[in-house]
Amino acid sequence: MSVVPAVMEVPLFCAASAAQGLDLPAVLREVVESQRYILGRHVQVFEEAFAAYVGVPHSIGVANGTDALEIALRALGMGPGRRVLTVANAGFYASTAIRTVGAEPVYAEIDTSTLNLSAEALSEALADQRLDAVVVTHLYGRLANMPAIAPLCRAAGVPLIEDCAQAHGARQAGRLAGAWGDVGCFSFYPTKNLGALGDGGALVTADKALAERMRALRQYGWGAKYEVAHEGGRNSRLDELQAAVLAAKLPLLDAANARRRAIAARYGAAFSHLPLQAPLADGEDDVAHLYVVRSARRDALRAHLASQGIASDVHYPVPDHRQPLLGTTLASLHLPATEAACAQILTLPCFVGMTDQQVGHVIAAVVSFHDGVA
């Protein structure tokens, strides 16, 4: 009797693989034995190490990446009556924070090659309307065009917030994600390039006064203990367990990013002749958090991958201005490049612990689909 070979299973993520080589039980045991679980030594050590890594003087640990965005907005004075520009293809995360502080999201078009904020669209928006802040998202691990975007915001006197949740370690012109704007916001969700064992986030800045406001806002708005001095404070603290894990993993980040880039480069070479748009391989400005292709036959390709045991996802299928929450509020707003991208994007597996065999299996499945073998 013939035996049918099992289909190789390839997950979309494997967060545990990013901790290979670490003695995590020992890391966690040290925190437990310290009997200090909130805003202790491990948070301070990680904050100092992460600030040094990004290349700025100040880092403030918070509970998650969305809180980081909200705290940054509040610290910069965003609230009712304020207008904050962002993109509409990044999962509504920035929009959530903007709406939470009571400000109005203003959506700009994306660059069709990078899927990040278009510097040209930003320039036009700054010239045509009043904007009070800009949130630029480094989507999928790829830095936006910061050498163009940052000067535009500085010239207009508009604060610039970087959403670096997917871009830990990405750099342009020698400057890392988070070091270009007034504030950089990070998430340490377990699947991020630098991931914790649960939720976590951080803010980074070169501005001492801004750092002090954000540090106060993460803990009730206290100026001194039990003395509320700042409006908009909340309880958003990175805990000691997560900080200890992140501090242990931080020295491994660059090597992990190199592995992600290597997988992305292998994909790019294999897909270059196919009728799909693969990410540009630009080097250090892309840390390949997600490997996202564009296909006119996205749903059929995804079904074929599933039949081969390969997980995939869509990051993100619904543009912010078309979310059900908004109803018909923004029905007249059309962002053709954004809407076209959301209809075609597909995320393929790309993670640190992915084996060469798994990468080869994904490549073979994508190629076979386009060769008509499926």
The two structure tokens encoding residue 214: 């954000």
Whether cis (ω within 30° of 0) applies to the bond prior to 220 is no
Average pLDDT over residues 9-19: 84
- CB neighbourhood size of 130 (10 A): 10
Helix orientation angle between 93-100 and 65-75, rounded to the nearest 10 degrees = 40
What is the CA 10 to chain-centroid distance, rounded?
Answer: 23
Strands 345-348 and 291-294: antiparallel
What is the CA 85 to chain-centroid distance, rounded?
Answer: 17
In the chain, the percentage of residues whose pLDDT exceeds 70 is 97
pLDDT band at 280 (very low <50, low <70, confident <90, very high): confident
Strand spans (E) along the chain:
58-62, 83-87, 104-108, 133-137, 160-163, 171-172, 175-176, 183-187, 201-205, 222-224, 227-228, 291-294, 345-348
Give residue-wise pLDDT tens across range 234-268: 999 999 999 999 999 999 999 999 999 999 999 99
Q: Which residue has the tokens 């990680």?
A: 46
Give residue-wise pLDDT tens across range 312-371: 999 999 999 999 999 999 999 999 999 999 999 999 999 999 999 999 999 999 999 999
Q: Which residue has the tokens 């709406």?
A: 99
Domain with CATH 3.90.1150.10 in the chain: 252-370
Q: How confident is the model at residue 6, as a pLDDT?
A: 63
Class (C level, CATH) for 252-370? alpha beta
Do residues 177 and 184 make contact, with C-beta atoms less than 8 angstroms apart?
yes
Q: How confident is the model at residue 282, as a pLDDT?
A: 67
Do residues 337 and 112 make contact, with C-beta atoms less than 8 angstroms apart?
yes
DSSP 232: T
Q: How confident is the model at residue 372, as a pLDDT?
A: 78
Class (C level, CATH) for 16-250? alpha beta
The CA-based angle 291-164-98, given to 5 degrees, is 115
Length of the chain: 374
Domain with CATH 3.40.640.10 in the chain: 16-250
State which amino acid sits at residue 252. Answer: L
- CB neighbourhood size of 232 (10 A): 18
138: three-class secondary structure by DSSP:
coil
The two structure tokens encoding residue 286: 């892309």
Closest CA to 153 of 136, 137, 172, 170: 136
Q: Which residue has the tokens 């069709």?
A: 112
Cα 143 to Cα 286: distance, rounded to the nearest angstrom:
6
The yes-or-no verdict on residue 2 having pLDDT over 90 is: no
Q: Which residue has the tokens 């949130």?
A: 135
The CA-based angle 333-86-327, given to 5 degrees, is 40
Model pTM?
0.96
